[in-house]
Amino acid sequence: MKSRVAVVKTTPETVLDDIDRALELAHVNRFLQKNVPTILKINISWHFWYPACSTTPWQLDGVTAALSRRGYKNLIPAQNRTVVINPKLGAENLHLNSVMEKHGLKFVHLYEPDVEWITYKPKANMLVLDKVYEKQGIQIPKMFIGKNAFHLPTLKTHVFTTMTGAMKNAFGGLLNDNRHWTHSVIHETLVDLLQIQKEIHPGMFCLTDGTIAGNGAGPRIMEPQIKNYLLASADSVAIDAIAAKMMGFDPMKLKFLNLAHEKGLGTARPQDIEIAGEDISTVNFHFESKDTFASKGQKAIYWGKLKPFEHVLLRSPLVPWSYIASRAFHDFFWYNIFGKTIVKKFLNTAWGKLFESYK
């Protein structure tokens, strides 16, 4: 049976109904069990609101309502922190807290002391994770085991993986604070994480928000563009492949998608994927993945001239320098000089007004 990806056009006025339709077209009931809890894997790529960057309030609202309507009762929003992102601040600034309050949901911050992390030994052979975490083992949240996983990414580019979506969204949940250790082998890491997800989750699904899509040096410093699309699928590889194709990339040339396809973890070849809903045969956003000053430095450490110093720079007492540099560039320089102007512009759009309505 072909992997199916639902693609639905939407508007700010109809987005909640359109999310419901996207889930129906992608046969959500066939892939998520109703007798187990469902993790709603939030994506907070920045603790400021910036269009296309993070899970949107209408995305969380629409998915929660659609699942509840179908009899899914125990829904658990969850997200981990990163060394440069504060998810509690993000949940407030992104107006996600108001959605959770509306639906009676409790946000689980995976880095809190009451969340137990365990050493997990995958049944499948890993490409890299067993080597990266050779000393401490692969650590995952115990609470994820036996629960459905529902991913809530946005449609955007990424400086390391060209584009990001369902597969990359697992990165912010399944791996702990030291997940930046995997950046030099990020493509293989995403494939390993997908393999682990298939072992621990009885069902998986994704709703990618492409209402506002991000072009350029994602996942943060992007040029947001209103595209009015929603994508849904139970196949993380297929939904990312179609998102990549719509952005103008060849999915089979993206290493993490090609690897996942070859390992049989999903379908990345667009001609082998069934599209339900919109005809996207001529859709091409002509997006490009670009670099920032910060990402150029990171790439030099992971793959360039500074590679011999990776352990010293990123796995030693010197490591705080990189966090400080990233926060200084993104939060204090770029957001204040450029980001606020873009945010102000988008708050005047229909999507911006919808965002503000979730305050």
Element (H, E) at 156: strand 154-158
> Does the residue 212 lie in any domain?
yes
For residue 242, the one-letter residue type is I
User: Mean per-residue pLDDT for 97-124?
Assistant: 97
Residue found under tokens 């994820």? 144
pLDDT tens, residue by residue, 186-228: 999 999 999 999 999 999 999 999 999 999 999 999 999 999 9
Reported as a pLDDT band with limits 50, 70 and 90, residue 293 is low
User: Residues of 220-229 as b/e, b for ≥16 C-beta within 10 angstroms?
Assistant: bbbbbbbbbb
> Does the residue 15 lie in any domain?
yes
Angle, helices 57-69 vs 15-25, to 10°: value is 50
pLDDT tens, residue by residue, 133-186: 988 899 999 999 999 999 999 999 999 999 999 999 999 899 886 777 888 899
What is the domain range of residue 99?
3-292
- What lies within 8 Å, CB to CB, of 214 at 6+ separation is 51, 52, 53, 154, 155, 156, 157, 222, 223, 224, 225
User: Mean per-residue pLDDT for 271-287?
Assistant: 98
Number of domains in the chain: 1
Task: Tell which wins on pLDDT, 319 or 84.
Answer: 84
> Residue 311: is its pLDDT beyond 90?
no
> Does the residue 347 lie in any domain?
no
* CATH code where residue 286 lies: 3.40.50
Q: Indicate the pTM of the whole model.
A: 0.93
pLDDT tens, residue by residue, 14-58: 999 999 999 999 999 999 999 999 999 999 999 999 999 999 999
Residue 202 CA neighbour count, 13 Å, CB half: 12
pLDDT of amino acid 305: 66
> Residue 274: is its pLDDT beyond 90?
yes
> Residue 321: is its pLDDT beyond 80?
no
> Does the residue 330 lie in any domain?
no
> Does the residue 166 lie in any domain?
yes
> Does the residue 148 lie in any domain?
yes
